[in-house]
Amino acid sequence: MPEAALHVGSGKVRELYALDDERLLLVASDRISTFDVVLPTEIPDKGRVLTGLSAFWFSRTRGICPNHLLALGDNGRSTECRRLEMLPIECVVRGYLAGSGWKDYRATGAVCGHRLPAGLDESAQLPEPIFTPATKATTGHDENIDREQALALMDSNLFDEAERLSIELYRFAAEYARERGIVIADTKFEFGVDAGGRLVLADEALTPDSSRFWPADEYRAGAGQPSFDKQFVRDYCEALGWDKTSPGPELPADVVAGTRARYIEAFERLTGLSFGDYLADPSVVLR
Ligand SMILES: Nc1ncnc2c1ncn2[C@@H]1O[C@H](COP(=O)(O)OP(=O)(O)OP(=O)(O)O)[C@@H](O)[C@H]1O
Ligand SMILES: [Mg+2]
């Protein structure tokens, strides 16, 4: 890393460095987390896939909202970005019923205060995408919250604007991905506020780590769907009978290879580029 850059944080996947008061360097590692636990085994190139895909989406969604991207590193895994005051919520949009959305719906008929039609199946497409924010837990799992709970944490105008932008970003990306054989069942955005008080899309966007990607040709409501990426890892961990607390299990070579292949396939399907071309020149995703 640049000698002058100060290490300011470490997430489950990314290392953060301050370049100066206005700029951060986000470096995406090859770490993989499942059930919120970082596993001891890495997936080679995963950080490059996440970085390249996020940059691809940033460059295609500028018409919807500004984003934090300033430059992509030659190594394909670092992003120079604007340093923002991050919102205290995760901006989740769901187009389909899965994960905690399905769990909440089954228990209460609603998700984050959105009452939904009765009788929906697991993985069913919703009549309209819904905004289902979550708290940003520093430890443990994020918790779904409704508008009321979110307004205890932040300004209502910013909340409404984050909701509007999140839904618009999701609609755009879901339609685009569907034509390339991928259902984006749900996704999580993170926004920050710039010095002028404007919302800016930050973090990673519309990647397999921040979204549920399902292969469209296998989609069938009424059961859980195979996910595009972490399914190998989840299935392997479940079969071991691991209790989902740290430390997680080491992954064998075939699970690593299968997972890497799926991440790269998601990248190639969505961008229409070969991953090799991205490695040779990361700026191909910006064109
Ligand atoms: N432009 C930005 N300015 C300030 N902070 C940012 C910006 N973009 C992203 N971040 C923050 O950087 C961190 C990214 O690291 P990482 O994704 O590893 O964290 P994590 O959220 O703990 O992991 P996970 O995504 O697995 O939940 C997040 O805390 C995110 O909110
Ligand atoms: Mg993150």
Per-residue pLDDT 10s for the chain (287 aa) are 555 789 999 999 999 999 999 999 999 999 999 988 999 999 999 999 999 999 999 999 999 999 999 999 999 999 999 999 999 999 999 999 999 999 999 999 999 999 999 999 999 999 999 999 999 977 767 899 999 999 999 999 999 999 999 999 999 999 999 999 999 999 999 999 999 999 999 999 999 999 999 999 999 999 999 888 888 898 899 899 999 999 999 999 999 999 999 999 999 999 999 999 999 999 999 99
Closest CA to 52 of 257, 270, 201, 262: 270
Helix (H, G, I), strand (E, B) or coil at 218: helix
Residue 1 pLDDT? 59
Answer for the pair 256, 49: CB distance below 8 angstroms, yes or no: no
**Nearest bound ligand to CA 11?**
1
Phi/psi of residue 145, nearest 5 degrees: -135, 160
Residue 2 pLDDT? 59
Query: 74 alpha carbon to ligand 1 midpoint, in Å?
Result: 21
**Nearest bound ligand to CA 134?**
1
Answer for the pair 244, 35: CB distance below 8 angstroms, yes or no: yes
CA distance 108 to 50: 34
Is the minimum distance from the CB of 90 to ligand 1 under 6 angstroms? Answer: no
CA angle 207, 225, 264 (to 5 degrees): 35
Instruction: Tell me which residue has tokens 């770490």.
Output: 31
Residue 50 pLDDT? 98
CA distance 111 to 139: 23
Q: What is the DSSP letter of 106?
A: H
Residue 3 pLDDT? 59
Q: What is the DSSP letter of 286?
A: G
**For ligand 1, atom 23, which residue shows the shortest CA distance?**
12
Handedness of CA 203, 207, 212, 216 (dihedral sign): positive
Is the minimum distance from the CB of 192 to ligand 1 under 6 angstroms? Answer: yes
Q: pTM of the full predicted structure?
A: 0.96
Residue 235 pLDDT? 87
Residue 142 pLDDT? 86
Closest CA to 135 of 190, 83, 87, 90: 90
Residue 137 pLDDT? 79
CA distance 198 to 186: 25
Handedness of CA 192, 279, 214, 100 (dihedral sign): negative
Helix (H, G, I), strand (E, B) or coil at 54: helix
Is the minimum distance from the CB of 31 to ligand 1 under 6 angstroms? Answer: no
Is the minimum distance from the CB of 12 to ligand 1 under 6 angstroms? Answer: yes
End-to-end C-alpha distance for the chain, whole angstroms: 26
CA distance 106 to 142: 19
CA angle 171, 69, 136 (to 5 degrees): 65
